[in-house]
Amino acid sequence: MALEVLRGLAILGTLLTNTWLFSSSSISSLAALVVAAVPATSPQA
Angstrom CA distances, 29 to 21, 32, 42, stand at 6, 5, 21
Q: Which amino acid is at 11?
A: I
User: Per-residue pLDDT for 40 more than 80?
Assistant: no
DSSP characters for 13-39? HHHHHHHHHHHH-STTHHHHHHHHHHH
pLDDT for 1: 87
What average pLDDT does range 8-31 have in this prediction?
81
Percent of the chain with pLDDT over 90: 33
Q: Which is higher by pLDDT, 44 or 19? A: 19
Extents of the domains making up the chain:
2-40
Question: What is the value of pTM for the model shown?
Answer: 0.46
Q: Which is higher by pLDDT, 8 or 25? A: 8
**What value does the CA radius of gyration of the chain take, rounded to a whole number of Å?**
12
User: Per-residue pLDDT for 19 more than 80?
Assistant: yes
